Amino acid sequence: METLFAVFANVLELDGQGEPVNEKYAGRRAATWLYRYCTGRMPEGEAELESWEVALY
């Protein structure tokens, strides 16, 4: 769960007022990580996760 949340938070972008601008994309990347974790492979058509997306801080 920690890595799943990290992927979402690392990908999420906020505008000047602190509102998310790419929430659906961040959610899709987090779901991609979960899919890979559960199946051992990436979903068809999804780009490989970048190291900065899964980094834990």
* Count of helix runs (H) and strand runs (E) in the chain: 2, 0
Query: What pLDDT sits at residue 31?
Result: 97
Query: What pLDDT sits at residue 35?
Result: 98
Domain coverage including residue 57: 1-57
Burial class for 47, CB neighbours closer than 10 Å (0-12, 13-18, 19+): exposed
pTM of the model: 0.90
- Total domain count, the chain: 1
pLDDT tens digits, 1-51: 999 999 999 999 999 999 999 999 999 999 999 999 999 999 999 999 999
Query: What pLDDT sits at residue 57?
Result: 86
Query: What pLDDT sits at residue 39?
Result: 97
| Alpha carbon distance 4, 12 (integer Å) | 13
